[in-house]
Amino acid sequence: MLDRALPALLDGTAVLREQDLAAGSYFGGRKPADGRIDWTKAARAVHDLVRAVAPPYPGAFTSLGTATVRVLRTWWSEPPALPDAAPGTVAVKDGK
């Protein structure tokens, strides 16, 4: 699609068309609950979520007892640092 649209955009001949929102191409926006970490996901998925909702967004979060904890940065390894660990296992290795 971009290979067809880009030349017209660059040379000023692109035709403006209204988007039909009834066609299902509207996204309602991010909700705070979208930042909740699902610890059953793979480490890479958790890492990607944390990066996606990092500041300036509110950040990823999880519950620790009755407290809500914001997670602003993660690190993951390939291959896994603990290959036999269950999803959701939080590990610290070499200070990381």
46 located within any domain: yes
pLDDT at 93 over 70: no
Please give the Cα distance from 66 to 22 (Å, whole number): 42
What's this model's pTM, rounded to 2 decimal places? Answer: 0.63
52 located within any domain: yes
12 located within any domain: no
Q: Give me the CATH number covering residue 38.
A: 3.10.25.10
* Burial class for 35, CB neighbours closer than 10 Å (0-12, 13-18, 19+): buried
Residues 6+ apart with CB under 8 A from 60: 35, 36, 37, 49, 50, 53, 54, 70, 71, 72
Task: Provide the residue count of the chain.
Answer: 96
6 located within any domain: no
Q: Which one has a higher pLDDT value, 2 or 66?
A: 66
38 located within any domain: yes
Average per-residue pLDDT for the chain: 85
* pLDDT at residue 53, as a whole number: 93
pLDDT range class, residue 55, cuts 50, 70, 90: confident
- Domain with 72 in it: 32-96
pLDDT at 95 over 70: no
**Count of domains for the chain:** 1
